[in-house]
Amino acid sequence: MNLTSVKLHRYKMDLVTPFTTHAGTVKQREGILVEAIDSSGRSGWGEGVAFSTPFYTAETVETSWIMMKNHFLPMLQESLIHHPADLPKIVEKEQGHQMAKAALEGAVWDLYAKQQNQSLASLIGGAQHSIPVGVVVSLSENLGELVPYYESQGYKRVKVKVRKGYEREDIEAVKRLSSNISVMFDGNGAYGEEDLEHLASLDDLGLLMIEQPFVSGDFYLHRELQQRMDTPICLDESIESYHDAYQAIQLGSCKTMNIKISRVGGLTEALNIYDLCVASGVDVWCGGMLETGISRAHNIAFASLPNMTIPGDISASKRYWHEDVITPEVELQDGRVEVPRHTPGIGYEVNRQQVNRITQETYIYLL
């Protein structure tokens, strides 16, 4: 692939509105944009989506920065990369740090697609020309205003960050505001074994799914709950690798799986998990983070695969950002996002002026 350098851009960007879960409130997003450059001067872009504190996973922006700078980038000196799938094999001897690995691999995938003069979606077998999308609403937002607005914008699914113990009230409030949008809630691992009967009692709500009610890495309690409910249980944080997905399926811990490229270590592993789910009859969809348009563009390509039938967490850029780092920004038409299929790579141009405005620190590694 003739990589000559990798540039890290550590950024901070204000959210349009604060985003609240049971774990806290995020007002300003910090992250890392990764730029892989080849000998012809072409750039591929990826994004590190760890948070500033380890409330979602053990990784943080700081640990991702250190791992990429001091460990993963020097490893690229040791082996030639002919295809993006080579990168996971190079960094696999270092345990964990999936989001840092995914950020580097994302940049390499974008660059490789550009070198092949193909869109990333086409390169990985994406068959959909547009994808239905969902939106996440947090505890700090005015649902009375937002849910009707999202319905008017055509969003197909709302994921609610519910209050523990008040799930029925929160879900019924959303359902009263809209009868046309599918509703699910995200447990974010806030529940324990003592909550099994309470969660099972919500089966009559007709939810699209309940996502990750128990802690990351748990398969037993999720299996116990799934056996008590018709409502699909979806695993999110518990799935960090193909092996995790395989265990979950073998144990019957879920009927649905949320695959986040960043959480499983990159697109290569995400594609392997997708194939496993399809072969096993487990519904699959593409999750998202509070990310810029760069990571969102990767998600759009992934979500264009033929068996991605559930609307993913891929909302419009203006949902989170006053100004995104890509042009054009991600927009919706009747609740769907068009998949870029005729522009090489992720299909969006990076707005370098905006990247420069938000960047707090840069690091360049020469190969």
Active site residues: 161, 260
Exposed / middle / buried, residue 166 (Cβ in 10 Å: 0-12, 13-18, 19+): exposed
DSSP-assigned states of every residue in 115-130:
HTT-BHHHHTT---SE
Residue 287's contacts (CB-CB under 8 Å, 6 or more residues apart) are 236, 258, 259, 260, 263, 312, 313
| Cα end-to-end distance, the chain, whole Å | 12
Pairing of strands 256-259, 283-286: parallel
Tell how far CA 96 is from the center of its chain. Answer: 17
The CA–CA distances, whole Å, from 349 to 45, 46, 47, 338, 352 equal 10, 13, 14, 15, 9
Are 65 and 78 within 8 A, CB to CB?
Answer: no
Residue located via tokens 């990826």: 46
For residue 75, the one-letter residue type is M
Residue 26's contacts (CB-CB under 8 Å, 6 or more residues apart) are 15, 18, 19, 20, 51, 290
Tell how far CA 334 is from the center of its chain. Answer: 22
Which is it for the CA torsion 118, 120, 124, 129, positive or negative?
negative
Neighbours of 331 (CB within 10 A): 11
Tell how far CA 43 is from the center of its chain. Answer: 22
Query: What is the three-class DSSP state of 28?
Result: strand
Which is it for the CA torsion 257, 258, 262, 267, positive or negative?
positive
